[in-house]
Structure 1
């Protein structure tokens, strides 16, 4: 049987949630953004809680293999502590909650201070869960091992338990390395960690966007490899660091992409410090990253709609039409297929999950046309021929 992996982006507004479903059935969820108002029929955002539960029920599952939070901003964790089963306290268990076999978090999530009046916030609850799993020594991977983490918490916590300060080293993943537990040979997938770097966690007090998780996800289908660049709310400075360091270590193939998750809901700040009047001009190394796109590649903006209107050109908050115009320019340069916006497909009044299939034939967008699912393949139709919908089987 042919190997087919799936990557699904969910229309949650200016927020992030995507899921990788490997050919062998393993499921990796990146971020979770469920808004209560999305449960109302008149709100265009998806009822994420219901959607994911329905998907898992159809697969006869009540768990996810991995839940990865790229960082702890609300638009990446909203509703997660009501949806997921957490091991650190009984009140977060049972009652139809979804189990997560492994939790992936940036080290910054364990370091960031929690103000006394925010101890009940979702961030604080997730931090308690992450710390609990670290001390238990299982069910978690922490990305980066900054000195601040050891000095401000872990070393003393392990000492109190009578353990050495290196007793949890197996839980930590450094930038520039592969995450263990997945392989191309067994799973048809591997996760190469681009970021965070230790310096992102040890400098300053703002430990979220600069210290977010960024991966090259390589998927193998019947011997052919394809790359998904999964980026959270990154900034252009971090992306330039990634390009520079990746090239220095001769890992340039990890910059390639067939599918790119556009950072930070199509904010210009992932490209440059200047928005530009009509189009953002990316910084030099960000340009290099964009030019690593492969022919027929797709770019996905997890964001609200981005109409080409006067209001959009004047907007302060993302998405920014100037950034989208830049992504369109570089899509054309690499002969990519489409820039797709989650809240626009199949239409802005009722968007649905975007599904991409990764098979030996390439990356294909499974698109709903007139209510019927269709495959838009990675190769465009020959001149003079109409592209016809193909039912997904």
Structure 2
């Protein structure tokens, strides 16, 4: 169990430059947004956690197997779904959420990673179960499609899909979690993807959402924007303002888009101050910004992938409390996530000593030994978690 958390929590895991966020809603309800089970052990050590192993060890159990209430895929890039096939094999997942983008690429499987294809196959299976049942197929088979799609139209593949229950569009709210009304502890407002961007690059079709956890009068707001860049981010803000939904932009914790990419606030190397004002205006107290990435370089060269130092500098100018990087909080000596919890005293940041599970420690030790040239075979499988 997640004994380290003090209450409903957002957990940002050290997995390199990629997104892996766990939301602990209650003792029995856990949500996972994206996964990047990547180990990069070297002779200096490894600050990345074997996340599938850790989830298997820490998730609540149901029917004798680790149980994840919901897995949410923002978009099917590898650094957001690496390890999904292993997770699906070892954990019962009550429901999955995804955008239609995973279907748009079904004719070109070579463009998707093995894990993305595993997710797509599972999404198809669940959608077909929903159609077969004509409604809720039950835990382990539920799927929610978020965005716009022609798949549900007469004659298309998912004609008959129960849209009233499992189809959500931007501007709508979700308070059901794995078949249960959880509105008193879990609330999602969907911001994107937009209908007019269906054919855009994968990053711009990311699922963007505001998530609230906690109990009435004692909540925490998280803003998760996938890998969106400046134009689409501004569309999120403008659409939300246009529908008088400003409250749905508020955040205590902001996961910086695209692993703290400068593309969130720069165009042609020019700072776009309007998006920075939007981020600042929607920030609450306390306010934290997280980069899910490796540690930052002192500077970047043209063409460098995220994280970008200049983006971090801009976020640090607006953040109310603190800017944190998963790859800097976690070290080879103390592998640990960044945890924000809702407690009786309000929102608390916890980056103290984290007790990693024995199976994750074993996998990590084997990866480090292998990287150092140990000729003995590792005790457990590495790379996508032990299987």
* Equivalent in the alignment of 1:170: 165
Distance 2:317 2:111 in 1: 43
Partner secondary structure for residue 84 of structure 1: helix
Partner secondary structure for residue 156 of structure 1: coil
Stretch of structure 1 that moved more, 165-174 or 132-141: 165-174
* Equivalent in the alignment of 2:117: 124
Inter-CA distance 155–235: structure 2 relative to 1 (3 Å threshold)? farther
State whether structure 2 residue 239 is matched by structure 1 residue 236: no
- Superposed CA deviations along residues 153-206 of structure 1, whole A, max 9, x for unmatched, are x84335xxxxx55654532101011114159975412011111121221x34x2
Partner secondary structure for residue 344 of structure 1: helix
- Superposed CA deviations along residues 37-61 of structure 1, whole A, max 9, x for unmatched, are 4599933311112211121269985
Partner secondary structure for residue 46 of structure 2: coil
In the alignment, structure 1 segments of 5+ residues that lack a partner are: 86-96, 159-163, 374-393
Distance 1:184 1:40 in 2: 49
Count of paired positions: 338
In the alignment, structure 2 segments of 5+ residues that lack a partner are: 1-5, 131-136, 357-387
State whether structure 2 residue 312 is matched by structure 1 residue 316: no
Inter-CA distance 353–19: structure 2 relative to 1 (3 Å threshold)? same
TM-score (norm 1): 0.77
Distance 1:361 1:234 in 2: 34
State whether structure 2 residue 24 is matched by structure 1 residue 21: yes
Shift of 1:32: 0.9
Whether contact under 8 Å (1:175, 1:196) holds in the other structure is yes
Inter-CA distance 193–150: structure 2 relative to 1 (3 Å threshold)? same
Inter-CA distance 348–284: structure 2 relative to 1 (3 Å threshold)? farther
* Equivalent in the alignment of 2:204: 210
Distance 2:28 2:120 in 1: 28
Distance 2:34 2:27 in 1: 22
Partner secondary structure for residue 62 of structure 1: strand
Q: Following superposition, which runs of at least 4 residues in structure 1 exceed 4 angstroms of deviation?
A: 36-41, 57-61, 116-120, 164-169, 182-187
Distance 1:313 1:249 in 2: 40
Say which of 271, 276, 291 aligns to 2:281: 291
Whether contact under 8 Å (1:106, 1:144) holds in the other structure is yes
* Equivalent in the alignment of 1:82: 86
Whether contact under 8 Å (1:240, 1:286) holds in the other structure is no
Q: How does 1:1-393 map to 2 (within 5 A)?
A: 4-35=7-38, 37=40, 42-56=45-59, 62-85=66-89, 97-115=90-108, 117=110, 121-137=114-130, 138=137, 139-147=142-150, 149-150=151-152, 155-158=155-158, 165=160, 167-182=162-177, 187-201=184-198, 203-204=199-200, 206=201, 208-221=202-215, 223-275=217-269, 281-307=271-297, 309-310=298-299, 312=300, 316-331=304-319, 336-347=320-331, 350-368=334-352
TM-score (norm 2): 0.79
Distance 1:70 1:288 in 2: 22
Whether contact under 8 Å (1:239, 1:286) holds in the other structure is no
- Superposed CA deviations along residues 46-83 of structure 1, whole A, max 9, x for unmatched, are 11122111212699851100000110000001121122
* Equivalent in the alignment of 2:380: none
Whether contact under 8 Å (1:38, 1:47) holds in the other structure is no
User: Higher RCO, 1 or 2 (CA under 8 Å, sep at least 6)?
Assistant: 2
